[in-house]
Structure 1
Amino acid sequence: MQAPDRLFDIAGRVALVTGSSRGIGHALAGGLAAAGCVVVLNGRDERRLAEAAAEITEATGAAVHTAAFDVTDGPAVAAGVADVEDRVGPLDILVNNAGMQHRKPLLDFTDADWHRIVDTNLTSAFLVGRETARRMVGRGRGKIVNICSLQSEVVRPGIAPYAATKGALKMLTKGMCADWGPHGLQVNGLGPGYIETELTRPLVEDPEFTAWVRGRTPAGRWGRVEDLVGALRYLVSPAADFVNGQVLYVDGGMSSVL
């Protein structure tokens, strides 16, 4: 039996977090760094990545690496993952966080809008997950967490394409588990509810919408990025070695009530 104090020990693990220059990804990367992980931030803007890395280092004292590549571009992903493993070390943890929201009535959604949101929210997880898993499978171990959403289960008007991508990401998570679980990988999802970030600030500041969120959420409030960190640490720790193909919703109870 594993000692209880080792169940959640992830110190020294190498973790790549996509879309981590701001928002939820930045908070998750910071949470992993604070737990002793060797963290690699990913995004496309090298300057912003450097600033984000400095912010995490200042907060945690941990050295943070960066890797600028486009997660929707297959060859760029292959080169980027290879570079990370060459510079930093074999990846133990992948957090597929890169994503976007585009609110618009479905009849007004253009072909370009559709392809952009699908590529960003779904194809990126497939590309980075596949490239990382190639290496993890050879080593017989690895943790992959796909950042799903409350909208993997439910939807509101104006976000149908976003919900479609997050619902598909839930099933991709289960498919990755089915294919890679026999090789020693655990692939799970983390499903945030309504979380207050700079991207959701306009909604938070809308009194009617905030009243709706608080009224629909048993916890009675918006979520904070810090609320997601513990769940992620659990999913990538030895404590979750027999947890596979699941989505852990961190939504204050919203998905459980009518």
Structure 2
Amino acid sequence: MDTERLDRHIQPTHLKVTERTRHRRLRDQGSTRVADLDAILRAGFVCHLGVVVDGTPMVVPTVYGVDFESRTLFVHGSVASRSIASAPDATVCVSVTHIDGLVLARSVFEHGVNYRSAMVYAVPRLITGGDELLHGLRVVTEHCAPGQWDYARRPNSRELAATSLLALSLEEASVKVAAGPPDDADGPDGELGLWAGVVPLRSCFGAPEADPALPAGIAVPDHVAALGGGGQGS
């Protein structure tokens, strides 16, 4: 049996802990489970890419996609390419955060936010061409809108030449999740007679809205209608 080949296909169940990812505060909210990292990444498609450009920190919102089989995060990298080209061995930080609600306690000090967050640290590879660029673009497209890569026209050679992606390993990451109600009911503030609880925050797609220039008779494709909960748009 080729054990080396087998090991490459065994997915890790826990993230290794490094000095950058060690949970020092609010440790009960921290997680090292790969499944928790993957769930946070699957739930979104916009991240914040932290880089240093000409000696100045820059945090760039951009889209991403994940190849979970190869444990690779693909990030649209054209904005950051100057930094990557000038400092190819520099570590960047990619963060993804979902807000699930406001935690309103009886005292302002105990207020909080229910959230899920992940921070990925890696030295990115700049991808500017070849099959890997095409694969990465497919991953990003399908992560945002499953089914769209096979539906829409794919990029031509000129468009590919003007596009770049960053590829980051998911090996080093920090995950935190906060959930639940306020925790001040058992203390003196529990006797104040004030309302306390959680105000949930939920994000969802609406019904698709057709391009005003779209000719009559072109229906919303099924995969797009599914994103909006089955709505057919107008």
TM-score (norm. length: structure 2) = 0.24
Query: Higher strand fraction: Structure 1 or Structure 2?
Result: 2
Q: Which has the higher contact order (CA 8 A, sep 6+)?
A: 2
Query: Higher helix fraction: Structure 1 or Structure 2?
Result: 1
